[in-house]
Amino acid sequence: MASKFFLSLVFAFLGFLSRASGVVDIACERLDVSTCAYAVSSLGLRCLLEKQIKRAGLQEVLVCQTSRIEAEGIKNYIESDVCIKACQLNRYAVGISTDSLLDAKFIRKLCSMECYNSCPNIVDLYFNLAAGEGVYLPNLCENNKKKVVRRELVVTSPAKFQAANSPAEPPV
């Protein structure tokens, strides 16, 4: 636990240095696999984990690679653990895919105030992934909120209406 905290402090400090002095440039291929996913290189390209086969096909390892996907206005950035947790992401996610946009639980987390309003790097990534599929992320979030409200009404309503709709005693 303490080592994760220390590691988070080190990366936060490196992020500060990279913004303050421009000395530390992030190259995806030099990042550790534990910080690769959701990072952005100094060129503004997204980093991603990929599987590679080593030792004559007997060992599969993860390596950090530079993708061809550009981050909008973001450079030299390693995503914070706070945002990874708030958006319910996995640092060891391999590749970049739109599959998660089909998962209602993931969409709820992505569209939550903690993620959507506080993690612009992640929102930018999924905004562009959604756009590539012809979906406007703010509309997806809005529709998801409406579905949750409707679902809550459906879940709570039957019990209330059952009591109100039960047949009354016939008059005597």
pLDDT (tens digit per residue) in 54-72? 877 788 999 999 999 999 9
Residue 162 in domain: no
Count structural domains, the chain.
1
The answer to whether residue 164 is domain-embedded is no
Q: Quote the pLDDT of residue 6.
A: 41
Q: What is the mean pLDDT of the chain?
A: 80
Confidence grade of residue 87 (pLDDT, cut at 50, 70, 90)? very high
For residues 104 and 12, the model is more confident at: 104
Whether residue 153 lies inside any domain: the answer is no
Residue 112 domain-assigned (yes or no): yes
- Report phi then psi at 99, rounded to 5: -55, -40
Q: How does residue 49 score in pLDDT terms, banded at 50, 70 and 90? A: very high
pLDDT tens string 108-124: 999 999 999 999 999 99
Q: Name the residue range of residue 53's domain.
A: 2-143
Q: Which amino acid is at 117?
A: N
> In this structure, is residue 32 part of a structural domain?
yes
Query: Which run of H or of E encompasses 66?
Result: strand 59-70
Q: Which residues pair with 52 in a beta bridge?
A: 61
pLDDT of residue 39: 97
The answer to whether 24 and 17 are in contact (CB under 8 A) is yes
What is the predicted pLDDT for the residue at 5?
44
Q: Is residue 158 part of a domain?
A: no
Q: Examine residue 163 and state whether it is found in any structural domain, yes or no.
A: no
Q: What does the pLDDT read at residue 91?
A: 93
Please give the pLDDT value at position 54.
84
Phi-psi region of 9 (alpha: psi -120 to 50; beta: other; left: phi over 0): alpha
| Percent helix, percent strand, percent coil in the chain, to nearest 5 | 50, 15, 35
The predicted pLDDT at position 169 comes to 58
Is 139 part of a structural domain of the chain? yes
Q: What local confidence, expressed as pLDDT, does residue 25 receive?
A: 94
Per-residue pLDDT band at 24 (split at 50, 70, 90): confident
Q: Is the pLDDT of residue 172 over 60?
A: no
The residue among 118, 116, 45 whose CA lies nearest residue 77 is 45
Can you give the pLDDT at residue 96? 85
> How high is the pLDDT of residue 171?
58
